[in-house]
Structure 1
């Protein structure tokens, strides 16, 4: 007969397997209770497994998974314990900009995901119209001008919250900064001087575009380059979105490097066109 300890271990393992999929799915949508920052606790294959349940378990150690799940639960618990600095009542919303009980502005929660702040799904294809509405809504209530007659602490918190909302909005508004931020949440970075990450054929193509832009003598020539660049950026946006949905982070990183170059060309085109005005 199995000992009582063995029975407990088997029961715990079965329970962990049953909760595995819900925990994975929570990582992909930032509206859930665990903030996006917790996704950086998991490896690439974890994100991929949430998209493909059949891949779950391949190369995944049960003990490692349980430890990761405990880390997420602890992180969630610490967030749930936040109280208002003024009246000490528990804060219901996460992130909390104001206390529901005393209506006092709260300090920013360290490490809160930008997607969570802006009430957006954790996806590369963000609804920018919804993002802008959320930004205006938050700034109307958090702008420091609204707290000029309040205490010094409230003024400081409103300034911090307003600055954080600005940063989150600007980061998520454009595809390049949004994609780079999503990779940072996964522990991946694209450093300055990324020439080594691009192949020679791609760099040659960029060189030709830059030369054509330098030699553009009319607005029509510059606008032609602008249209081509816009089309290329739209194509890269679709490819990056597909790569992220599949959990192919290395592919997404390589595509974001290309997007970074084309975004630079787009800015150069704008500068060129301004000279014709």
Structure 2
């Protein structure tokens, strides 16, 4: 057991060293602006998204129009929407209910999850605010509230409630949130295509997995779990900085690492349940 602990400690120290080295390569997000390696297009698109989202949420330019965001550029096309029931112009985007007749509206095609849940377009969003908004929407959109309404309203209620659920689950966890932000930029992480994870990093992960399998006590498993949480916190900071600087390729590499550590975290939970 002593030998296993020494082996586990050494491999975690190497992973920690690797993450510290990665942080050193990242620019100081509070320093003066510097030229970044990504294209002008991706930088302008990233800042454009942030500005457009704030405008939509806080009544800025274009607030009274429906902004349909494409998956690649997050650009908008202005298409004013009217209530399906009373034909009045809908004042907000997205609109869940008509302000005039109070009828529930169908989901707006192309609306981002950030706009649906009225949260800032940022990797480090406020999850407490996210949960509060989610519960608020589900209380008003749940199909049980429309059992005595028309078939169309019941259908819209089910669609809106399902969409809010999907948006919440996607934005709640850092990994799925980051992957979704990359998808909005046209970048995807597909299964079996993690070429960005080099052999050295994969070897370190294999050693952590072996240490987890060989752990004999809850204390040993908890230690691996705490170290993994620390690595995920480090990666969260690095990914936020990369997205803030518009370095999407760097963010993609770091999200790949986060995916592996999230997998280890789930294995830790399963291992701890075996001791109960």
Check whether TM > 0.5: yes
Q: How far does the alpha carbon of each residue in 1:42-101 deviate from its partner, in whole angstroms, 9 at most, with x for none?
A: 7xxxxxxxxxxxxxxxxxxxxxxxxxxxx74xx0x21xx211111111111100000000
Counterpart secondary structure, 1:267: helix
2:69 to 13, 23, 37: 37
1:60 corresponding residue in structure 2: none
Deviation of the 1:24 alpha carbon? 7.8
Pairing partner for 1:28 from 40, 46, 50 = 50
Q: Distance in 2 between matches of 1:244 and 1:23?
A: 12
Give the TM-score of the pair, scaled to structure 2. Answer: 0.77
Following the alignment from structure 1 to structure 2, what is the Cα–Cα distance between the partners of residues 24 and 246?
Answer: 9
Q: Specify the structure having the higher radius of gyration (Cα).
A: 1
Q: CA offsets per residue over residues 194-230 of structure 1, 9 Å max, x none?
A: 3422111100011001101111111011101100100
Alignment-derived partner of residue 160 in structure 2: 161
Q: Quick one: distance in 1 between partners of 2:114 and 2:130?
A: 9
Contact conserved, 1:27 with 1:38, CA < 8 A, in 2? no
Task: Report how many aligned residue pairs link the two structures.
Answer: 224
**SS at 2:109 equivalent:** coil
Q: CA deviation at 1:241?
A: 0.2
> In the TM superposition, what are the counterparts of 1:26-105 in structure 2 within 5 Å?
26-29=48-51, 30-33=53-56, 35=67, 37-38=69-70, 40-41=72-73, 72=76, 75=77, 77-78=78-79, 81-105=80-104
Show structure 1 runs of 5+ residues with no match.
1-21, 43-70
CA distance in 2, matches of 1:196, 1:250: 13
3-state SS of paired residue (1:164): helix
Give the TM-score normalised by the residue count of structure 1: 0.77
**8 A Cα contact 1:176 1:256, kept in partner:** yes
Higher RCO (CA-CA < 8 Å; seq separation 6+)? 2
Distance 1:195 1:28 in 2: 28
Asked if the contact 2:174–2:236 (Cα under 8 Å) also holds between the matched residues in 1, the reply is yes
CA 1:36/1:252 → structure 2, altered by over 3 Å: closer, same or farther?
A: farther
Task: Please tell me whether the aligned partners of residues 97 and 106 of structure 1 are also in contact (alpha carbons under 8 angstroms).
Answer: yes
Distance change >3 Å, CA 251–CA 164, structure 1 → 2: same
2:261 is equivalent to residue 239 of structure 1:
no
SS of corresponding position for 1:98: coil
RMSD: 2.0
Gapped regions of structure 2 (runs ≥ 5):
1-43, 57-61
Q: Is the 8 A contact 1:180 1:190 kept in 2?
A: yes
Distance 2:133 2:237 in 1: 24
Contact 2:68 2:111 in 1 (8 A): yes
Shift in Å, 1:23:
9.3
Cα distance in 2, alignment partners of residues 161 and 36 from structure 1: 17
